[in-house]
Amino acid sequence: MRIAVAGGTGTVGRHVVQVATARGHEVSSMSRAEGVDLVNGRGLTQALQGVEAVIDVSGIQTTSTKKAVDFFTNATQNLLAAEKQAGVKHHVALSIVGIDGSTSGLYAGKLVQEDEVRHGGIPWTLLRSTQFHEFVPLAVKIGTVGPVVTVPRMFTQPVAAREVAEALVTAAESGPRGRVPDLGGPRTEQLAALVRAYLAKTGQRKRILEAVLPGAMGKAMRSGALVPAAGAAVGRQTFSEWLETAEADGGRDQ
């Protein structure tokens, strides 16, 4: 099968490319660095010629609702339009567990993306996953001011990016199935505890400050609403196991 990966150089995307290639598929990666821009559509038509399935793991790092909504609206509309023109038969998209009812930030953008996919005219599959293990070093990077790391009080169930990639490639192979079961990691954890373990592993001496975020999303973080419900698929690799990998060591500079 010919598969194109939107966001193929990102945290999950590079794993998707590797997994799909190892399974014998003909795989192409689409990113700005490779001459394809989802936001303005540059290079999309050429990149999708002869492609049978698209796996969309593109994204944006922002806390701005407007930037997130604008990105996912433009990127998804452009991608689906180009898929129609190229005759793509299946669109697979990655989203985030627990975002129903979100009205702000990245989660609002992902809800817009899901809606575009459902009504975009291309047979689709949608997989929601929890945050990846790499979310922890990112939270440290974003939350660090001097010797202090501020992180939201939050229950999370982190999953290996590789396992998410495997699930996405399996979804592409299986054909359009609509919303498939959510995927989460093997353990529910407190984000602050994961940050503490990451700092210790990477030799960083910082004080952790837990912040109680306001609004519906802050409540969802604290209540466990962002972890999968019963019946979800469960990954294998724990966060502590990921910490022992070379991939985690590379995150100390993130």
pLDDT tens string, the chain, 254 residues long: the values are 999 999 999 999 999 999 999 999 999 999 999 999 999 999 999 999 999 999 999 999 888 999 999 999 999 999 999 999 999 999 999 999 999 877 888 999 999 999 999 999 999 999 999 999 999 999 999 999 999 999 999 999 999 999 999 999 999 999 999 999 999 999 999 999 999 999 999 999 999 999 998 887 788 889 888 899 888 999 999 999 999 985 666 544 33
Domain count within the chain: 1
What CATH code is carried by the domain that includes residue 108?
Answer: 3.40.50.720
Amino acid at 49: Q
The residues pairing with 129 across neighbouring beta strands, listed in sequence order, are: 96, 183
How far is 121 from 149, CA to CA, in rounded Å?
44
pLDDT for position 54: 98
**By the 8 A CB rule, do 133 and 158 touch?**
yes
Contacts with 227 (C-beta within 8 Å, 6 or more apart), sequence order: 97, 98, 130, 155, 156, 157, 184, 188
- What pLDDT score was predicted for residue 201? 94
pLDDT reported for residue 249: 65
What is the per-residue pLDDT for 26?
98
Packing angle, helices 105-118 and 65-86, rounded to 10: 20
The pTM of the full predicted model, rounded to 2 decimals, is: 0.92
Token pair for 197: 């373990």
Long-range contacts of 96-100 (CB under 8 A, 24+ apart): 96/128, 96/129, 96/130, 96/131, 96/226, 97/128, 97/129, 97/130, 97/157, 97/182, 97/183, 97/184, 97/226, 97/227, 97/228, 97/232, 98/128, 98/220, 98/225, 98/226, 98/227, 98/228, 99/128, 99/226
Structure tokens at 29: 């990666």
28 backbone dihedrals φ, ψ, rounded to 5°: -125, 145
- For residue 234 the two structure tokens come to 């469960």
C-alpha torsion 31→34→38→40, nearest 10: 150
> To the nearest 5 percent, what fractions of the chain are helix, strand and coil?
45, 20, 35
One-letter amino acid of 187: R
pLDDT attached to residue 31: 94
Looking at this protein, which amino acid is placed at residue 58? S
- What is the reported pLDDT for 253? 37
- For residue 61, the model assigns a pLDDT of 87
The reported pLDDT for the residue numbered 217 is: 78
pLDDT score at 62: 87
Specify the pLDDT at position 250.
Answer: 53
Q: Which domain holds residue 34?
A: 2-253
Q: Token digits for 141? A: 């990077």
